[in-house]
């Protein structure tokens, strides 16, 4: 479809695959980020509330699923084959469009469930923020559109969907299981549930509460909102760009959440990368995967701004933002042979097709 002609919902097919995903058009608006002190479950880091102006964007109707994420994961073997055959080499001139592909999972049965075979409609889980950002880079370079993680302010704006209550459906936590997969209604007490099965929020997005915690771009700072008190601020100005590996902000609650208040629209979760990699036996530990039970509650969804920044600024949203993340990736890929990297562009699907035809 001609997505630039009209601002409306659309369905995109990942080039070279049969996999589709839905994007919901969200009009610009102003709202109050955070929660008032009288809200049940309110935490100090959710205040003071800040008036934020959010520009128009599209956001994923669902969390990124295994059907979608597996197409990205396949790059590891594909890039390895390209390297072995001297095809599509990464050079100084094209490395800006190079993407790292995650290493294979240590124990698929642990991440996917006892049968080792996830439902393609379940949210993908256990990825680091870096891996989620590289996914958005891969998708962007394939499609030619600018996809990225949402900022914390964008995420809450879409979750609230014009409401000012604790949840997008009101203040009654007894209604949570009608809209969210949490501990009380998760299907097998040890896994995510398929996306889109429960009620959506007022703007038509599913699983904004529960199912998996969702990555945002922001670093966590309990006092960040206070820097913007008593004045309206543009969404891009309030984004708290990370300078440390963690804590960073996740939103929404998960299938393992027992306390309903942790699924409120304003609720924030601090990442703890060291804790979430406790079961990773290698050094350096994987820059792509969390090898822990907590990792099974971590996922993400994507946004596409209606008016994207200049192309030269896109890498800020996609690539490693700390020197040691890049060093860990380089060590894993180039010295240990775990994971891979390669150039992604609109010609990649045809190159993969030609590779497959030779097998």
Q: What is the token pair recorded at 58?
A: 């599209």
Closest CA to 286 of 130, 60, 158: 130
Burial degree of 117 (CB within 10 A; 0-12, 13-18, 19+): exposed
Residue with tokens 């002190």: 37
pTM of the prediction?
A: 0.96
| Residues 189, 277 contacting (CB under 8 angstroms) | no
Burial degree of 351 (CB within 10 A; 0-12, 13-18, 19+): middle
- What secondary structure letter does DSSP report for 178? G
pLDDT of the chain, 359 residues: tens digit per residue: 344 458 999 999 999 999 999 999 999 999 999 999 999 999 999 999 999 999 999 999 999 999 999 999 999 999 999 999 999 999 999 999 999 999 888 788 788 765 667 889 999 999 999 999 999 999 999 999 999 999 999 999 999 999 999 999 999 999 999 999 999 998 665 678 999 999 999 999 999 999 999 999 999 999 999 999 888 999 999 999 999 999 999 999 999 999 999 999 999 999 999 999 988 877 778 999 998 999 999 999 999 999 999 999 999 999 999 999 999 999 999 888 889 999 999 999 999 999 888 76
| Residues 347, 84 contacting (CB under 8 angstroms) | no
Q: Which domains does the chain have, with CATH numbers?
A: 10-357 (3.90.1580.10)
Which helix (H) or strand (E) element contains residue 129?
helix 129-143
Report how far residue 187's alpha carbon sits from residue 63's, in angstroms, rounded to the nearest whole number.
Answer: 18
Q: How many helices (H) and strands (E) would you count in the chain?
A: 10, 13
């Amino acid at each position: 479809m001609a997505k630039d002609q009209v601002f409306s919902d659309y369905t995109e097919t990942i080039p070279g695959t049969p996999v589709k995903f839905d994007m919901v058009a969200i009009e610009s608006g102003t709202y109050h980020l955070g929660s008032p002190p009288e809200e049940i479950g309110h935490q100090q880091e959710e205040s003071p509330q800040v008036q934020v102006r959010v520009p128009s964007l599209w956001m994923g109707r669902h969390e990124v699923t295994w059907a979608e994420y597996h197409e990205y994961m396949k790059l590891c073997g594909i890039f390895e084959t390209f390297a072995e055959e001297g095809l599509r080499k990464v050079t100084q001139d094209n490395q800006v469009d190079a993407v790292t592909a995650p290493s294979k999972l240590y124990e698929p049965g642990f991440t996917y469930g006892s049968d080792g075979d996830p439902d393609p409609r379940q949210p993908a889980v256990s990825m680091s923020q870096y891996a989620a950002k590289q996914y958005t880079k891969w998708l962007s370079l394939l499609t030619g559109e600018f996809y990225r993680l949402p900022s914390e302010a964008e995420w809450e704006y879409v979750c609230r969907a014009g409401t000012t209550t604790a949840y997008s459906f009101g203040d009654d936590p007894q209604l949570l299981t009608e809209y969210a997969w949490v501990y009380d209604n998760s299907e097998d007490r040890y896994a995510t549930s398929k996306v889109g099965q429960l009620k959506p929020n007022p703007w038509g997005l599913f699983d904004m509460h529960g199912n998996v915690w969702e990555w945002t771009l922001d670093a966590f700072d309990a006092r960040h909102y206070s820097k913007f008190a008593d004045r309206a601020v543009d969404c891009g100005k309030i984004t708290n760009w990370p300078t440390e590996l963690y804590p960073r902000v996740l939103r929404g609650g998960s299938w393992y959440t027992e306390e309903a208040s942790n699924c409120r629209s304003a609720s924030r979760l601090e990442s703890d990368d060291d804790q979430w990699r406790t079961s990773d036996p290698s050094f350096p530990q994987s820059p792509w995967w969390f090898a822990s039970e907590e990792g099974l509650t971590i996922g993400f969804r994507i946004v596409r701004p209606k008016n994207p920044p200049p192309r030269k600024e896109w890498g800020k949203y996609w690539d490693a933002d700390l020197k040691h993340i890049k060093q860990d990736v380089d060590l894993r890929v180039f010295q240990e042979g775990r994971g891979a990297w390669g150039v992604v562009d609109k010609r990649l699907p045809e190159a993969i097709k030609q590779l497959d035809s030779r097998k």
